Chain A
Amino acid sequence: MRSLSHRARFLALGTAAVLASALVAACGSSSSGSSSSSSKPILIGASLSLTGDFSADGQAFKRGYELWASDVNAHGGLLGRKVQLDILNDNSSPTQVDTNYTDLITVKHVDLTFGPFSSLLTAPSAEVAHRYGYAFIEGAGGSPLVFSEKLPNVFDVALPVANELDPFVNWIKSLPAGQRPATAAYPMANDPFATPQVQRVQSFLQPLGISTVYSKIFPEEVPDYLPNADLVAAKKPQAVILGSTDVPTVASFMHGFEQQHFNPKVFIAAAGPDQGQSFLSAVGTANASGMMVPNAWYPGYANPTSQAMVAEYVAKYGGTASGVNADVAEAYSVGEVTAQAVKATGGTVGSKIIAYLHSGVTLSSVEGPVQFNSLGENIKAIAFIFQWQNGKFVQVLPVGAPGSVKILYPKPNWAS
């Protein structure tokens, strides 16, 4: 009796496992979609941080996706089918993003998926998409954390995070030894976006003889960074390379430095100064002068499709061209790359799209050319460094690149 019961339980478990496998396979096969034409819209699922820590970026991404979708539909859709977005809110939570993509794929049976915002959320969601055979094209998951899993379905259209500050390093290298900063500080937020790029800069500047006086990782999401800013200021580094993720972090450090009457010769932050009016209102227009930030795109980027997108954005959402966030371009690029892959493969079949994007083909986007390596990094992405100069956000690096103006160096003193 006992053995019968044991066997029955074993059978039940086995049946459940088989059914579960069949279910997963069925869901996975749905990702292969259909190559045949149909009047049904192509359903694209995405999870975005519409609330929570990344909500400012998430909202900008949503506008970017929607702008792309409306453009595509205005031109007859994809493969003759309209495009329809299904965007869920993950509240900036890595757990929720996992649930959302599972829901989009297994319940809503979307034809394609677009990535979420931030590497922190891209890493878990890419795994979900991989499980069901979906290509996962994204625009804000460029940290090594995302690529370390070596998932074949991940394609980041943006610049790999670790390389964002390369033009800054090249510029420092190009300076005569006497003009280079002698010392540098590397405070970094504990975030997969912030740390890799700052650590990379440190690894290049140290061999140049630029002495490291501070290099520490601080926790994110604390309400103020005064103690950390004080510690950096006490070391009086000539260069500060701040691994920030948002406006409050960089504004707190700037306020702290000003309160300590400390002004570095050069101050570059991984994120924050690129946030336009939010940044200016937090630090003041005069104090912003000299602050630098890396990015792969800016509203004045001399690319016809980019300029058309900026004009459309302003017409649809209002504001000015200079207020268009780089997140919008990243999201729009995701749509553009997906569209090219769908057209080239003649459908939404995940495996075909993945193979096509790994074929070494060069695609185009509002951010410039896109070509993926075996990890899914965009090896054709262009890195720029921007700087605030007298209330204007201008491209300064690479030196000599189209659109670059003379860098403001050393950084002007605090205005107040």
Chain B
Amino acid sequence: MSVLSVPPVRAAPSRLVPPRLVRALWLELKRSPVPYLLPLLAVFFYLDPLRTADGYPPVWTLRASVIGRDVLYGFSVFAAGIAAWAGTREGRRKTADLLATTPRAAWSRLSVALAGTLCWLLLAFLACVAVLYVQTALQATWGGPPLWPVLVGAAAMAMATVIGFTCGAVFPGRFTAPLVALGIAVLFEIGFREAAAFRGALVKHPSPWAGNVPLGVRVHELLSLNTGTYALLSPMNGVPSVDAGVYYRVAPDLSIVQVMFMGGIAVAVFGALGLAAGLREPGSAGGWPVRLAAVVLVACGAAAAGTGFALAGTAQPDAVAGGWEIPALHSAASDQPINAAPDCTSAGGFQVCVDPALGFDLRSVAAELDPEAAEIAGLPGAPVRAAEISSTNGWKAGIYGNPPVFEFNTDHADTVNTEFDGAPNLEGWQTELRQGLLDAFLAGPSPAAGLDPAQQAVRDALLAGAGAQLAQESYPPPLLPAAVAAAARRFEALPAGTRHAWLAAHLAALRAGKITLAQLP
């Protein structure tokens, strides 16, 4: 076979011929080492991020949080390592001398190789995001895919890739690739730890997306922790609350500064690659214009990263919509509530309404509340329906309005633990939801003080009467005293009608704290 027998490229006058750089990029894409790594990335994606996301309720913001916390960790480590490997190519293959005789500047040549590597890695990342989003789209009941987590992730991938490639090109040794991968893993772990430490210092909830920082907490009290700004810039977020992005849009302020910071670093390191390539090949073509361009890129990248860092330092809790706002970037539009008609059970009986984004949960919420509502139906102050509200403004669950409505939120009935990594705790959620209704019903004038022993006993008896187990040992509140448990069993043993009648007669006194355990039937 002769090369002349291969059908030649028919360069007809009207056909566009790809520019040189595009052709060179095509070669790099064809021969990149990244595709060999894709099976490993696919396995990692399935075992960690995809399974983690599958365990979360199908709320877009919640599922998208996996991108920053789980996908990026593994992908960035390998992106940096394989990019460093690609960067060492000229040194490993001893082509530097030969390539130095070509007219293109070394930076230009290396940029093409870098672009080829980056294209593959971004493609892999976006493919995984697509799988995640398609899975969510098939399950979610409202909303659409958030794009800012994807942009932040792409910026992080680009940063890791450029850093890795530059290290490989400048230090083409055998230890460069594993050390770069290790370094990126360490950087992400530091960001993860600082974010965890930062959030651990928040007064109420560990997740700033829930916005449960009490109003009035001054920002400097939080950001004076030396991890504050770094924590905000880290893409390794905590698990947001279930209703993040449901009642109010998630402000893109933090995402913008993260993209600025990481994108700036990527640009600056890319410029440094140009300077390093020029130093390595003193006779390299290009001369001062190339060096000037490299210096400009370094300066612009550093400026962008520095600006992002400075802006992150001005972040303050968003008292309205939750999360964080950065005054210089904040738009009032993101503080407007999202108007969406709630999903409700049928109007007959005890109606339960939830936000449409949480509509997947409607039946189970109704299933938890209906028995408790039936136990207290018709009693003074008993709610006629239940409605879910936003958790972002610190609103406490309770019974409000006339006619009385039990208002609850996902903070009160959270499907994820307050642990940083998050894990569903369905049993805890069920217990909290039922108790929440009864606590609000039985609470006296000072609900923050909690229930007194007689109120606790009545609550637990009603829970048991509705088929729920009495308060568990391992879940707050702590073990009930034996006397309270005994009184609860006594009260629960009564026929439902008798319980109901007693409550009708003594509810006001019970709420006022005037009933003792001994006075319970």
* Pairing of A with B: no
